[in-house]
Amino acid sequence: MLCAAPAHVQAQTQTVHVLTVQGAIGPASADYVVRGLNKAAEQNARLVVIEMDTPGGLDTAMRGIIKAILASKVPVATYVSPKGARAASAGTYILYASHIAAMAPATNLGAATPIELMPGGEPPGPGQKPAPDQGKTPSSVADKDAPLPDAKSRKAVHDAAAYIRSLAELRGRNAEWAERAVREAVSLSAQEALQLKVIDVVAEDVADLLRQIHGRKVKVAGLDLTLDSAGLTQVRTEPDWRSRLLAVIGDPSIAYILLLLGIYGLLYEFSNPGIFVPGVIGAICLLLALFALQLMPISYVGLALIILGIALIVGEVFVPSFGILGL
């Protein structure tokens, strides 16, 4: 990658860092991508490729990833892969935000209408179509002029439409279709996306992607760069134990179960004081659910768990529970 600062070019390594995002976009995905981008910048990588297959996810996690991509000093290519994968919902926004947008054959993107997290629903966030049993909204049908059910839904759709349009304009991609993906929940195949200038490349694999984008010009951190992606060594950064654990906790279905367990555990403890076990389990589950739903940052959750642990140990001194509180 050539740029205006020769010292920066000399410091670069002949590597491309490859990150893999599969499943719902949540706190774990955001943490993994942000750390991966930081690592690539620290090691002066020439390019970061995010291989993505997602049905969508949480709005806050999606925006965290997009902010990291926009602030990255290393060019980012998001690649919907493997064949049969999708970049629905939040994935469409991330694809639009990337310096290079690419898809494998037989993949799709779109359906970017924001919906709320509902019991039994799909992961929340921009872009997911409501399930049939959740009822249709005007944003999931063809008539974009149909009235939305309430002010909250209207605000969410208008905000999401403006957001994805701003990303499209930043990267010079099809802004009209991007807005339709939000307001009408439309989707495209890889070839259709290429024809409509929604994406830049359709590639068979990462090696093919690197060959096709060689010589393309992108703007990174305010600098006009020419990608030199030929012959780069792929360095794959797989999710570590921390990311995998957070992914399990952050799964919307698991988060909802934890939320219910937390609420019912505390209710049972309040209705039957002195048992302690339901209250302890309920408090822990509730804190984990709040993190998974990103209502609390992970640092606050950790602090709350520490305070809870100290309180239980102190409580063991004053309330005989045969060691249950101390555990």
By C-alpha distance, which of 82, 92, 88, 113 is closest to 18? 82
Residue 78 near residue 98, CB atoms below 8 Å: yes
Query: Annotated catalytic, 39?
Result: no
Alpha helices in the chain (DSSP H): 6-11, 27-42, 59-71, 90-97, 151-171, 175-183, 190-195, 206-213, 241-250, 252-271, 277-292, 298-318
- Give me the catalytic one of 67, 152, 155, 219: 155
Sheet with 15-22, strands from edge to edge, namely 201-202, 100-103, 76-80, 47-53, 15-22, 233-237
Contact by Cβ (8 Å): 266, 290? no
Q: Which of 89, 153, 187, 229 is catalytic?
A: 89
Q: Which residues contact 132 (CB under 8 A, 6 or more apart)?
A: none
DSSP secondary structure, 78-103, as one string:
EEE-STT-EEETHHHHHHHHSSEEEE
CB count in 10 Å sphere of residue 249: 18
Q: Is 153 a catalytic residue?
A: no
How many whole angstroms separate alpha carbon 244 and alpha carbon 76?
23
Locate tokens 């995010």: which residue?
50
Interior CA angle at 218 toward 214 and 220, to 5°? 125
- By annotation, the residues acting in catalysis are 89, 155
